[in-house]
Every structure is written in structure tokens, then in C-alpha cells.
């Protein structure tokens, strides 16, 4: 039976029943955005205490995919159905992409669900698509759900940070630790992994991380009770991977016992809602700026007869979506 | 200080080089043909200045007499179907006066898989001969005097197993190991970079190769344990300079590994040989071949301390570029192959395989293979290029191209040396691990493809001169499915007849020896193949210890 | 603003390691704006089916250079049917003309021979995805 054009409700029913094609199709709908994507998201509310969501990030070449493959292997013992969202950049020129992480993750025959996602040029779209995709995978019963991104851009860092547990992977030498610090990863990391630890410079990198962590703790890490462990792995032969898995589970246990899990979920909800609002705002702004009366106003700004600040003040009131203006701030 | 009188008394260095060359030339063998043009004009054996052919750093060739002493070997690669099919082909070749056999194995054999493996589906006996057990190897060389031929085997990942089988067949024929002559390709590094026929990760693979070098050095003095191959690097899409640099860097890596294992560089250096591609850009190829000899000689002497000149000589086999052949108007490929064969001859190759014109469409048919051989015979016997050693030496463009190829290669060596912290071996490992080689090769392949697609580069029949593209295809060789079924039954029979306990014990010993880095694996593998353990079983015993290699997808 | 990008799963089925062509094709399709999920070497029909399901592929492309296409392509078609997957299969590589006709009759959506240009490759993928 063809699943192209099947109604969203039907796809969700089948995905929950274990049909991977339907899950795959739902993810495409979420990725494509628009009204069908919203419909999918509305029908897949995040269940309370749902899947453990793990973000894995680090610079290119740090061995994230191979580590994820190993984690799948270890995780399969405890939770039978892990899923991975592997995010890679689209070509800025053509919008196309070559997604090759999957190869590195399928060494382990585990039945994991792996989905490759391209950033598709507009990073804001990704910020919407990822939480939507996570919901689909949770609804289909996958746990844990791992999100692998290259930790370079701010939005990618935000996406990773919106996980329950964030793992930052670096390699010895090459200033990875410094780069991670600059990218703001030190503040969001719950577990550090120094991968390829058989290479020279591994202990040095570990020391760098400890030092920077010490400093950031002093200057105010978000969580004073929790100290992110720094673990050494060699994902090629699997050394240290079990410990990483344990650290991820320990972090989740900590979140639950300390009440921080609710805080994280709140943060994630804020992130997701903010992004959706941002999307609406951007569309509304674009519509406004393209409207005929505003064109005239912009011409006046260009001619110097109206100041930019005055123009912005006059337009600001028109940006609030009409439905909100009518209802006022009552939400529940 | 210079002294005018003494310069009259002693010959200048240039004169001395000339004298040394003359002496070497006089000592060398001579083919019994007239060395003159077809109009009857006699020609000298060499023109130009020192260093002459046969003199370090061998830019102008390895031998003082060039092809006057001996033509290149016309070594045509063959193998298909079952061992019995290929055995018949071998015997025909030997009856026709050949002294060298060159064996192509099918894909499952190359990958360490038996014919009954699910992986072998559709590939048994298709691109070469299927060898699962010693019984197949016996059939392959039945009725052939292994003491009187030299055998080349193109295999890499499971090379140790095939060498062990060859040794065992020799013993059964009453031919001692010291009498067995031949070459096994056994160049695993280029597999990770280009051809992708690997089994284990790089480091354990390197250990197996080092074991084989030690074994052959000690027991098989007529055997060449590694043929360092750039051919596949070029076919995968590299440029000429990348082919040159990656291949020689791999050579340096084997040398460093052997030195680290306590081998004498003069001893094993003599037994290394190379295998290059001859592509269609005529002068670039000639420059590449000449630069290869010069670079290898200098590095062996200066960096690795070889003192025996023979250990600094870059001997190479050449094959014309399969990838240059077009499916459109395939007969035009004969012209491409002829040009490439001529470049190889002018570049001074020791042996040559010329491709068949139908190879962009299928495995070579018999007629196409014959035309290919005839093509190099025309170059050797009709064109006169074999009359003079390095006939292009001294030409400004050719010398510049040789220097340019060397410069580009040296820049790559520098990069690898840096990646390896002063070790080319470590640099090559790093380049395999971080995708440097596959990335560089894929970039070059794509650049070429875009040039062809945009029409910036003309390929006859592909993006220009396409009249005639609709002609019907030539007659193509087909291998039928019966081969696969036959080979599976045969393997099944061998598995039922053998002593299972002996097989189990032999495989256990391989696994145990594999776990012991100081133990040479060859004796245990020879033992196992004699017990009729299959190629895949032997590979599995080592997979257990060494793991398998999965390539990162660098596109 | 829903987007419909063509998603292509590319793979080498079986032991054949010739990957120059498939890598060039991957880049061609990327440059034509498609998303290419490259599975690489040594895939089985099962791993390709799993990837096609999870990645919601619009089309599957296989590259073959070892004269195994008459066995492997039908095996792939069989696996797709067994999984009830209605995704077009395109085969590229060294496939002689008469074999190409046979494969297309057996259910392969298109065969791209050794002479196919970039334009032909891109146009063929677009055509089979649109179901023409």
C-alpha cells in the first residue's frame, strides 16, 4: 500500500503500531514544514516522562557518528528501540545535501531507527523540525532519542541544549576544547567525551576541559549541584563507551531525583514555543514590510523625510498577530 | 681548488658517467634486431647527457641498454569462472610461449568470502577465478610446472591465505619454497584509499604484510611480497601527481614498517615493485614515470639509508587506464590504449598490460583481449621506440614535466610527514583515518567529471564527435550463472570430505597467533589451508581478533 | 511553505568496491538540489530496505560494476516487494544495453549506462520520482 498521501491520523496510528515507513513519512512531513507539519505536531503531544532525549554534538571529525553507533549497541541492551536524528548541513548554494553519517552508525545491527536530516538552508526551519521529529519518534515508541549535530552554529547548540542530556565530544589536540568553549558548549554540556583517546594529547585535552570547567563553574554554571564528568573513549574499539552510556543514564537519574527534569522540559517547551512564535513573527514582519502602505513609508525613510526609528515605532503595533490582540493575554 | 692540468689528466665527472654507462651497456644483453630506423638510418643506444640510463637516480631508466637488452614483459591479466576454466587459459598462454601467469580472482575471493556466502550472490567467477580452498588452487595450477613459471596474484586483503595455498600446491608438486617465483600484490594501503577491497583495519593488516615480508625473505627468495599499486588510486579519480605521491608514500610506509620490524632495507628493498596507471595525457604520464624512479631512488638512499643500488630502483608494471575507456563508440578506445601504451614505453615500464576496448561495457572478450595485446606489440616492434633508451630525455618540456610531477609529489609527502609527526607510515594511517585520501581522490574525480559535463574538456564520443554513438554494441563476454552453482557444489563436497577436527584446531591456532603480535601468522595459515580450511574461515579466525574495517562515507 | 525535496538513497549492493561513479553521482544530485543519503559500500538488500523506510526515500539508486547486475538487481526488487515498498529503483554502472532492457522489464525504473551524462542522471531521477 502506498503511504504517500495517506492521512496524518492514519500514519500516526501505523507508526505507533511499529510501521517504520509511516514513521519515516511523518518525519518528512515535519521536515517539510507548513500546515501538515503542524497537524503532525498537534497529534503527537509529548507524553509525560517520555523518551530520554540525548543531544550529541562536537566538531566535525570528532567521531560523533561512530560513538553514536557504539551507544546504540550498548543502549539496545536496556532500551530496545533507540532512534537517532543525524543532522548535517545543506549546501548553501543549491539546497542539496549529501548525508553520510548513517554509514558510520549501521555497523551495529540493532534495529535502531536512524534518520538523516539536512539543515535545508534555513536554520530556523530546523529549530522547528527537530522538536517535531522528536515528538514523532517518541510517539512511535523510540527511547532513547539521540540528536547528533555539528556543534558550530548557535541554533545547533540550542537544539542540542534542548535535550535532557547533552553530550559534547572533542578529540585530543587541534584546540577542540577551546573551540567548544567558544561555541558555548561548556555551559550546556552534561557529559564530556574525549574521543580517540588513544591519540597523543588526550590527557592534555582532558586537563584543558577540567580547567575551563572549573572556571565556568566559578563564573556560574547553570547547575551548581552537578559536575559534568569527562570521559575518555576510543569509539573505534569501543573502549569507554559503556561508561559514557552509564554517565548518560546517571545524568537522567540525577535530573529526575533533583526535580531538574521538569526544569529541562520547561526549557525545551520555551525553546519550541519561542521558535514557533518567531516563525509567525518573521512571516508577519515580511508581510508587513511588503505591503503597499509600508513601501511608501520606506521610501520616505530612504528620502530622509522620516527617521528609521520613527518608522519602526509606527509599524510596531501592526506586528502583533490579530488573534492575540483580540483575546488579550489569557492562555489556559 | 680547480686545477687546469689535472682536468686534462682526470676525466670530468660527465666523462666518467659516460664511461661507466658505456661499460654497463657493453656488458648488457642485446636483442637480435637491427637498431636503425625503417629507412635504414642507424641510431645510438642513448642520446643526451649524464646521468645516463641505469645510473642513479634512474630518471632515464633502470638499465643502461633500455629496451635494447630486453623488451618490457607483455603481461596480460586473466581469470574467470572456475579454477578449471582459468587453468585451461593458463595452459594456452604457456603453450603460446608465455613464462608468466597473472591471476585475477573474483570479488568474493578478493574480499575473503567463500562462494557459498550470501555476500557472494551473483559474483562467483564473474570478474576473476573463484578460489575457496586448496582444492581450487590445485585445479588452478594442475599440470603446470611451478618451478618453471613466475606467477602473479592480484590479491590484497586475504593475500596471506592465497600465498599459503600457493606454497601448499608447490609442496604437493614437489617444488620447494625457495623455487617458487612470483609476485603477490598485497598492497593493503591503497585498498583503504581507493580500491576498497579490505578486510581488517589498517594496523593489523600491516602486521600481516610484515609477517609475509619476513616469511618470504627467509623462505622464498624468488618471491616479491608487495607490489605497490597506484593504478587503482588513479582509476578512482586521482590526478597523475596524486597517483604518484600516494603510491610512493605507501611504498615509504611499507619500508618504514619493515625497518621497524627489524628487516634490512637493502634486503627487502630489492624485492619491492610498483604498479602504475598510464592515462591519456601523454607527456604528463611520461613525466610521472620518470619522476617516480627519481623520487624513489632518492628517498630510499637519503631517507632510508639504502646502500645497495638495486634497493633504490623503482621497478614497475603499467596498465592502461580502464577509466579512460568510453562506452560510446568503443572501437575508438583502441586509439586511446595505443597512446597510453606508447607513453608507458617512453616512460620506461618493465611490464605492461593493455586494456581491451570493450571494458567500459563488460569483461573483455577474447577478440578484444587479442587486439589489446597486438596494440602493444605494434608499439614494441613497429614504432622503433624500443631502439633508444629514454628517447625523450633532455627535451625541455619532458624534463620540466618530470620536475613538476616531482615537486607536486614532494608537497604531498610533506603534508603526510606532518600528519604523521615525522613518519610517513603514521601520516598514511592518519590520512586513511581522517578521510584525506578518499576526499582528495573524490574531489579530483568530480572536478574531471564537471569539466567533461561543461564541455571544457573534450572526450571524443562523449561530449564531442558523437556521430556513430548509436551503432550497436560489440559482442560481449558473458559469464553464466552455472559457474556459481557448480562452484558452490564443489565447495560443499570439499567441506564434507575434510577432517573437521583438524580444521577446527588449525583455525584456533590462527586466532591464537593473531592475538600474539610477535608470532608470524604464515605457518598457522599454511597449516589451515592444508587442512582445507576455506578462505573465509581463515579470514573469520582473524576477523575475530582484528575486527573488520568499515569505511567512513567521504563523498 | 512546505518543501518537497527529492530524497535519494544511494548504495553499492554486494562486494563490488568501485565507488568513483556513485560518489560523482552523489555530488551531481546534491548540486541539483536533492538530498542524498549515501549508504556506501557493501550494503545488503535488507540494509537498503531499512534505510529507504527510515529515510522516506523517493528513489533508490544502485551502482554496479561487477557484472552481477542480473542477479543483484532482481534480488533488490524482490526485497522491496517483500517489504511492500513502492519506491522506484534506478541502476547505474556497467550494464550492457540488452541487459538494461531486461532489467527494466523486471521492474527497474531506469538504467543509466556507462555513458550517462550529469544532465541525464539528474533528469532520470526527477522523471522516475514524478512517476512518468
Residues of C within 8 A of A287 (CB-CB) are: none
Residues of chain C with confidence (pLDDT) below 70 = 1-3, 132
pLDDT computed for residue C1 by the predictor: 38
Class of residue C56 by CB neighbours under 10 A (exposed 0-12, middle 13-18, buried 19+): buried
Give the integer Cα–Cα distance in Å for B278 and B170.
34
Give the integer Cα–Cα distance in Å for A251 and A53.
11
- Tell me the ipTM for this assembly: 0.93
Residues of A within 8 A of C58 (CB-CB) are: none
Stated length of chain C = 132
CA dist A141 → A8, A19, A187, B69 (Å): 17, 11, 31, 76
Residues of C within 8 A of B446 (CB-CB) are: 23-24, 27
**Cβ distance of B547 and A237 shorter than 8 Å:** yes
- The residue among B276, B391, B405 whose CA lies nearest residue B344 is B276
Residues of chain B with confidence (pLDDT) below 70 = 1-9, 478-479, 553
pLDDT computed for residue A211 by the predictor: 86
Inform me whether the pLDDT recorded for A79 exceeds 60: no
pLDDT computed for residue C116 by the predictor: 85
Long-range contacts made by residues A308-314, C-beta under 8 angstroms, separation at least 24?
A: none
Does residue C17 sit at the B interface (CB-CB below 8 Å)? yes
Question: CA A123, A127, A133: angle at the middle one, nearest 5?
Answer: 125
- The residue among B433, B428, B418, B444 whose CA lies nearest residue B249 is B428
For A69, phi and psi rounded to 5 degrees? -60, -45
Q: How many CB contacts within 8 angstroms connect chain B with chain C?
A: 100
Residues of C within 8 A of A116 (CB-CB) are: 35, 37, 55
Inform me whether the pLDDT recorded for A109 exceeds 70: no
Residues of C within 8 A of B123 (CB-CB) are: 14-16, 66, 68, 71
- The residue among B332, B340, B334, B342 whose CA lies nearest residue B383 is B342
For B326, phi and psi rounded to 5 degrees? -110, 150
Q: How many CB contacts within 8 angstroms connect chain A with chain B?
A: 18
Give the integer Cα–Cα distance in Å for A233 and A171.
10
Q: Which of A58-72, A213-227, B501-515 comes out lowest in average pLDDT?
A: A213-227
Helices A292-303 and A308-316: crossing angle in degrees, nearest 10, is: 160
Q: What is the 3-state secondary structure (H, E, C) of chain A?
A: CCCCCCCHHHHHHHHHCCCHHHHHHHHHHHHHCCHHHHHHHHHCCCCCCCCCEEEEEECCCCCHHHHHHHHHHHHHHHCCECEEEEEECCCCCCCCEEECHHHHHCCCCCCCEEEEEECCCCHHHHHHHHHHHHHHHHHCCCECEEEEEECCCHHHHHHHHCCCEEEEEECCCCCHHHHHHHCCHHHHCCEEEECCCCCCCHHHHHHHHHHHHHHHHHCCCCCCCCCCCEEECECCCCECHHHHHHHHHHHHHHHHHHCHHHHHHHHHHHHHHHHHHHHHHHHHHHHHHHCHHHHHHHHHHHHCCCCHHHHHHHHHHHHCCHHHHHHCCCCC
Indicate the pTM of the whole model: 0.89
Give the integer Cα–Cα distance in Å for B279 and B340.
6
For C90, phi and psi rounded to 5 degrees? -115, 135
Q: Are the C-beta atoms of C16 and B121 separated by less than 8 Å?
A: no
Give the integer Cα–Cα distance in Å for B528 and B505.
8
pLDDT computed for residue C3 by the predictor: 56
Place of cell 622464498: B220
> Which pairing describes strands A113-118 and B73-74: parallel, antiparallel, or unpaired?
unpaired
pLDDT tens readout for residues A276-287:
888 788 888 888
Give the integer Cα–Cα distance in Å for B482 and B485.
5
pLDDT computed for residue A1 by the predictor: 46
Give the integer Cα–Cα distance in Å for A174 and A142.
36
Q: Which helix (H) or strand (E) holds B229?
A: strand B226-229
Give the integer Cα–Cα distance in Å for C108 and C9.
15
Q: What is the CATH number of domain C2-130?
A: 3.40.50.280
Inform me whether the pLDDT recorded for A123 exceeds 80: no
Place of cell 517539510: A32
pLDDT computed for residue B468 by the predictor: 86
The pLDDT-based confidence of A222 (bands split at 50, 70, 90) is low
For B525, phi and psi rounded to 5 degrees? -70, -40
- The residue among B129, B155, B153 whose CA lies nearest residue B140 is B129
Does residue C39 sit at the A interface (CB-CB below 8 Å)? yes
**Cβ distance of C39 and B328 shorter than 8 Å:** no
Q: Are the C-beta atoms of B143 and B546 separated by less than 8 Å?
A: no
pLDDT computed for residue B1 by the predictor: 45
Q: What is the 3-state secondary structure (H, E, C) of B249-261?
A: HHHHHHHHHHHHC
Inform me whether the pLDDT recorded for A110 exceeds 80: no
Q: Are the C-beta atoms of B375 and B334 separated by less than 8 Å?
A: yes
Q: Out of B111, B126, B327, whose CB is closest to C67?
A: B126
Question: For the stretch A30-42, what's the b/e string if a residue is b when 16 or more beta carbons lie within 10 angstroms of its beta carbon?
Answer: bbbbeebbbbbbe
Does residue C70 sit at the A interface (CB-CB below 8 Å)? no
pLDDT computed for residue A316 by the predictor: 86
pLDDT computed for residue C2 by the predictor: 46
Q: Out of C3, C40, C53, whose CB is closest to A20?
A: C53
Q: Where are the domains of chain C?
A: 2-130
Q: Are the C-beta atoms of B133 and B533 separated by less than 8 Å?
A: yes
pLDDT tens readout for residues B237-296:
999 999 999 999 999 999 999 999 999 999 999 999 999 999 999 999 999 999 999 999
Amino acid at each position: 500500500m502506498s503511504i504517500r498521501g495517506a492521512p496524518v491520523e492514519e500514519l500516526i496510528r501505523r507508526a505507533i503500531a511499529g510501521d517504520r515507513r509511516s514513521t519515516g513519512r511523518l518525519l518528512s512531513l515535519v521536515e517539510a514544514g507548513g500546515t501538515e507539519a503542524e497537524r503532525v505536531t498537534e497529534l503527537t503531544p509529548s507524553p509525560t516522562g517520555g523518551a530520554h532525549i540525548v543531544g550529541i554534538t562536537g566538531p566535525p571529525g570528532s567521531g560523533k557518528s561512530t560513538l553514536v553507533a557504539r551507544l546504540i549497541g550498548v543502549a539496545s541492551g536496556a532500551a530496545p528501540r533507540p532512534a537517532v536524528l543525524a543532522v548535517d548541513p545543506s549546501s548553501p548554494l543549491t539546497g542539496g545535501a549529501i548525508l553520510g553519517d548513517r554509514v558510520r552508525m549501521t555497523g551495529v545491527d540493532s534495529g535502531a531507527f536512524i534518520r538523516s536530516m539536512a539543515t535545508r538552508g534555513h536554520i530556523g526551519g530546523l529549530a522547528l523540525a527537530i522538536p517535531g521529529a522528536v515528538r514523532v519518534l517518541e510517539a512511535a515508541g523510540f527511547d532513547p532519542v539521540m540528536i547528533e549535530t555539528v556543534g558550530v552554529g548557535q541554533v545547533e547548540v540550542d537544539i542540542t541544549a534542548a535535550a535532557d542530556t547533552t553530550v559534547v565530544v572533542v578529540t585530543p589536540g587541534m584546540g577542540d576544547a577551546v573551540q567548544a568553549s567558544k561555541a558555548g558548549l561548556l555551559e550546556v554540556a552534561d557529559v564530556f567525551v574525549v574521543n580517540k583517546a588513544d591519540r597523543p594529547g588526550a590527557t592534555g585535552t582532558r586537563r584543558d576541559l577540567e580547567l575551563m570547567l572549573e572556571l565556568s563553574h566559578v563564573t556560574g554554571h547553570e547547575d551548581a549541584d552537578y559536575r559534568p564528568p569527562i570521559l575518555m573513549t576510543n569509539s573505534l574499539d569501543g573502549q569507554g563507551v559503556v561508561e559514557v552510556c552509564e554517565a548518560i543514564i546517571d545524568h537522567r537519574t540525577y535530573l529526575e531525583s533533583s526535580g531538574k527534569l521538569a526544569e529541562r522540559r520547561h526549557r525545551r517547551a520555551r525553546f519550541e514555543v519561542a521558535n514557533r512564535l518567531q516563525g509567525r513573527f518573521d512571516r508577519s514582519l515580511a508581510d508587513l514590510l511588503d505591503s503597499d502602505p509600508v513601501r511608501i513609508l520606506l521610501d520616505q525613510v530612504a528620502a530622509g523625510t522620516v527617521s528609521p526609528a520613527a518608522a519602526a515605532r509606527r509599524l510596531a503595533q501592526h506586528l502583533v498577530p490579530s488573534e492575540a490582540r483580540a483575546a488579550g493575554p489569557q492562555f489556559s | 681548488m680547480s686545477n687546469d692540468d689535472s682536468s686534462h689528466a682526470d676525466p670530468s665527472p660527465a666523462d666518467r658517467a659516460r664511461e661507466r654507462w658505456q661499460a654497463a651497456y657493453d656488458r648488457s644483453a642485446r636483442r637480435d634486431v637491427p637498431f636503425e630506423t625503417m629507412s635504414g638510418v642507424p641510431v645510438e643506444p642513448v642520446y643526451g647527457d649524464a646521468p645516463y640510463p641505469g645510473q642513479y637516480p634512474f630518471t632515464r631508466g633502470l638499465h643502461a641498454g633500455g629496451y635494447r637488452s630486453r623488451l618490457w614483459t607483455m603481461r596480460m591479466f586473466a581469470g574467470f569462472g572456475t579454477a578449471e576454466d582459468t587453468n585451461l587459459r593458463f595452459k594456452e598462454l604457456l603453450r603460446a610461449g608465455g613464462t608468466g601467469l597473472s591471476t585475477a580472482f573474483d570479488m568474493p575471493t578478493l574480499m575473503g568470502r567463500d562462494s557459498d556466502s550470501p555476500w557472494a550472490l551473483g559474483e562467483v567467477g564473474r570478474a576473476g577465478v573463484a578460489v575457496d580452498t586448496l582444492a581450487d588452487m590445485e585445479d588452478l595450477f594442475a599440470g603446470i610446472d611451478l618451478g618453471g613459471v613466475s606467477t602473479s596474484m592480484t590479491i590484497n586483503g586475504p593475500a596471506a591465505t592465497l600465498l599459503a595455498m600457493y606454497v601448499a600446491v608447490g609442496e604437493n608438486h614437489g617444488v620447494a619454497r625457495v623455487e617458487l617465483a612470483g609476485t603477490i600484490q598485497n598492497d593493503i594501503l591503497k585498498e583503504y584509499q581507493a580500491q576498497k577491497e579490505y578486510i581488517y583495519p589498517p594496523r593489523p593488516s600491516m602486521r600481516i604484510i610484515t609477517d609475509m615480508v619476513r616469511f618470504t625473505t627467509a623462505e622464498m627468495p624468488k618471491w616479491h611480497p608487495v607490489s605497490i599499486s597506484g593504478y587503482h588510486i588513479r582509476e578512482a579519480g586521482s590526478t597523475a601527481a596524486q597517483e604518484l605521491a600516494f603510491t610512493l608514500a605507501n611504498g615509504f610506509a611499507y619500508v618504514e614498517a619493515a625497518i621497524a620490524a627489524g628487516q634490512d632495507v637493502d634486503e627487502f628493498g630489492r624485492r619491492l615493485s610498483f604498479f602504475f596507471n598510464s592515462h591519456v595525457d601523454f607527456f604528463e604520464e611520461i613525466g610521472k614515470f620518470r619522476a617516480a624512479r627519481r623520487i624513489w631512488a632518492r628517498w630510499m638512499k637519503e631517507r632510508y639509508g639504502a646502500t645497495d643500488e638495486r634497493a633504490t630502483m623503482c621497478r614497475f608494471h603499467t596498465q592502461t587506464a580502464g577509466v579512460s575507456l568510453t562506452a560510446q563508440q568503443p572501437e575508438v578506445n583502441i586509439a586511446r590504449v595505443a597512446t597510453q601504451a606508447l607513453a608507458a614505453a617512453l616512460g620506461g615500464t618493465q611490464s605492461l598490460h593493455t586494456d581491451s576496448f570493450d571494458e567500459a561495457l563488460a569483461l573483455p572478450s577474447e577478440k578484444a583481449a587479442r587486439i589489446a595485446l597486438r596494440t602493444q606489440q605494434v608499439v614494441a616492434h613497429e614504432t622503433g621506440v624500443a631502439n633508444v633508451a629514454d628517447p625523450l630525455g633532455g627535451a625541455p618540456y619532458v624534463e620540466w614535466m618530470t620536475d613538476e610531477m616531482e615537486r607536486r609529489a614532494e608537497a604531498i609527502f610533506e603534508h603526510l610527514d606532518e600528519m604523521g609527526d615525522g613518519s610517513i607510515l603514521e601520516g598514511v594511517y592518519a590520512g586513511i583515518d581522517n578521510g584525506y585520501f578518499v576526499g582528495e581522490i573524490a574531489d579530483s574525480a568530480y572536478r574531471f567529471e564537471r569539466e567533461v559535463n561543461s564541455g571544457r574538456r573534450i572526450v571524443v564520443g562523449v561530449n564531442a564527435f558523437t556521430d556513430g554513438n548509436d551503432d550497436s554494441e560489440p559482442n560481449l563476454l558473458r559469464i553464466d550463472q552455472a559457474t556459481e552453482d557448480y562452484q558452490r557444489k564443489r565447495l560443499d563436497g570439499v567441506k564434507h570430505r575434510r577432517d573437521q577436527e583438524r580444521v577446527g584446531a588449525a583455525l584456533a591456532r590462527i586466532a591464537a597467533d593473531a592475538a600474539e603480535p610477535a608470532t608470524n601468522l604464515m605457518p598457522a595459515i599454511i597449516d589451515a589451508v592444508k587442512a582445507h580450511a576455506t578462505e573465509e574461515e581463515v579470514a573469520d579466525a582473524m576477523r575475530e581478533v582484528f575486527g573488520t574495517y568499515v569505511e567512513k562515507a567521504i563523498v | 511553505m512546505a518543501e518537497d525535496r527529492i530524497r535519494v538513497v544511494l548504495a553499492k549492493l554486494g562486494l563490488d568496491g568501485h565507488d568513483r561513479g556513485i560518489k560523482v553521482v552523489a555530488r551531481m544530485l546534491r548540486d541539483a538540489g536533492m538530498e542524498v543519503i549515501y549508504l556506501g559500500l557493501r550494503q545488503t538488500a535488507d540494509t537498503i530496505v531499512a534505510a529507504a523506510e527510515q529515510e522516506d526515500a523517493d528513489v533508490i539508486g544502485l551502482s554496479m560494476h561487477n557484472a552481477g547486475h542480473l542477479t543483484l538487481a532482481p534480488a533488490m526488487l524482490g526485497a522491496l516487494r517483500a517489504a511492500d515498498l513502492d519506491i522506484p529503483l534506478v541502476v547505474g554502472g556497467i550494464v550492457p544495453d540488452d541487459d538494461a532492457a531486461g532489467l527494466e522489464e523486471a521492474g527497474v525504473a531506469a538504467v543509466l549506462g556507462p555513458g550517462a551524462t550529469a544532465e541525464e542522471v539528474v533528469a532520470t531521477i526527477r522523471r522516475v520520482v514524478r512517476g512518468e
